[in-house]
Amino acid sequence: MSLQLSFRHMKPRDEVRRRVEALYAKLAAFLKETGARFPTPNPHYSEARHQRDQEWQRTKGIARLEKEHAAYLDPHYQPPGGWWQFRGK
């Protein structure tokens, strides 16, 4: 038994392009009709701050989380506050 691929079901590129354009126009009309809101760029965004925050996460942030999560493995670990402190009182 051999596997034979058939591309007869595929449509010509121009027909696909026309279909995509028609669907895009239909979607755009629907979004306009429904008053859909679109995301806008953040005017306060700073690439320098983003890079600084990413660097902090890679260095100090991960180290802080690792230390915090290591404490969970301590046999004497007591979670801070919560409903379990008042249970049975």
The string of pLDDT tens digits covering residues 40-73 is: 999 999 999 999 999 999 999 999 999 999 999 9
Residue 12 — pLDDT band, cuts 50, 70, 90?
Answer: confident
Is 86 or 32 the better-scoring residue by pLDDT? Answer: 32
> For residue 70, what pLDDT is reported?
93
CA 29 to chain centre: 27
Is the pLDDT reported for residue 2 higher than 50?
no
Element (H, E) at 69: helix 62-71
**Span 25-45, pLDDT tens digits:** 999 999 999 999 989 999 999
The answer to whether the CB of 52 falls within 8 A of the CB of 46 is no
